[in-house]
Amino acid sequence: MKNPVLQLSRLSAPGDQRLAEAFDLVFLKDQEDPQGFLKEQGHRFQVAVTTAPIGASADVMAALPNLKAVVCRGIGVDKVDLGYAKTHGISVSSTPDVLTECVADLAVGLMIDTMRGLSASDRFVRQGHWPKGAYPLTSRVWGKRLGILGCGQIGQAIAQRAQGFRMAIGYHNRRRRDDLAFEYFDSPVALATWADVLMVVVTGGEQTEGLVDRAVLQALGPQGYLVNVARGSVIDEPALVQALQDKSIAGAGLDVFVREPQVPTELMPLDNVVLLPHVGSGTHETRRAMEDLVFDNVQSFFSNGRLITPVVA
């Protein structure tokens, strides 16, 4: 008999297939009446598999009375009700480390695109504007000041790459880190005031919601750029839209949004913002590594009752 696993969000086709071969995998949304299914069959499942954008709500976990583990593909677990999980003895795992390098690659590429106007100048050529005149000048990348908001593993990987562009590095965390040689700033406003580029890499959730607010954007100023590869919730999105519309900041590169996959329509016509569909970890190699870790976490739980990479143990 295969151990039953409830899937709240699909992985890739190979990832789903591997789980289905090893476990009795049930995808909740395949059920004609998902709520009725949970009421009748929810007691069967000790493990649920999900992804960062979907997570696991308290209501869903409450409908699984024997749930012992939520295994999440992704580093962000802000869509998992961690308070409920901890209170009810449910372990939660994420997939750290394996996505660090690809997210850092994407972040630096997005910064370059934003500052040098790569996507906008591509549209300029495709739309036939070049014969009518040259593309406007852009801002250099090398030698600028990069402020990293959230200098954890991904932030440090971004800093390592940025040093290749001879950028000065500053950062803000909740606490200064003695192991980092970069200049520390005691608030997001102070960091934004110093930086030419503000790179947002903090974790999502209630503690960081709206952290980059109107005051931070004003501190960044009309020559400053914002790049967000963290969570959409970290940014005061209406304030950012206004700042881009009135050019009180120079530009933004955004891989994440508050109501994904919905993107504010006001951003669509703007050439001073690059819009990506949350693809920071979106490479074949990284997704395979993330889903291998999901599988290993599920297998480990059924083997010894423990997750390999727990967020809540």
Considering the candidates 231, 237, 287, 291, report the single residue annotated as catalytic.
231
Considering the candidates 10, 88, 278, 288, report the single residue annotated as catalytic.
278
- Angle (CA) 287-289-291 rounded to 5° is 70
Residue 278 a catalytic site member: yes
- Residues paired with 66 in a beta bridge: none
Instruction: Please name the residues in contact with 52: beta carbons below 8 A apart, sequence gap of 6 or more.
Output: 72, 73, 74, 75, 76, 77, 78, 79, 94
For the chain, give the DSSP string.
Answer: -PPEEEESS---HHHHHHHHHHSEEEEGGGSSSHHHHHHHHGGG-SEEEEETTT-B-HHHHHT-TT--EEEEESS--TTB-HHHHHHTT-EEE---STTHHHHHHHHHHHHHHHHHTHHHHHHHHHTT-GGG-PPPP----TT-EEEEES-SHHHHHHHHHHHTTT-EEEEE-SS--TT--SEE-SSHHHHHHH-SEEEE----SGGGTT-B-HHHHHHH-TT-EEEE-S-GGGB-HHHHHHHHHTTSSSEEEES--TBTTB--GGGTT-TTEEE--S-TT-SHHHHHHHHHHHHHHHHHHHHHS--SSEEE-
Rounded to whole angstroms, how far apart are CA atoms 20 and 173?
41
Considering the candidates 40, 260, 285, 306, report the single residue annotated as catalytic.
260
- Contact at 8 Å (CB) between 9 and 51? yes
Residue 260 a catalytic site member: yes
Q: Which residues are catalytic?
A: 231, 260, 278
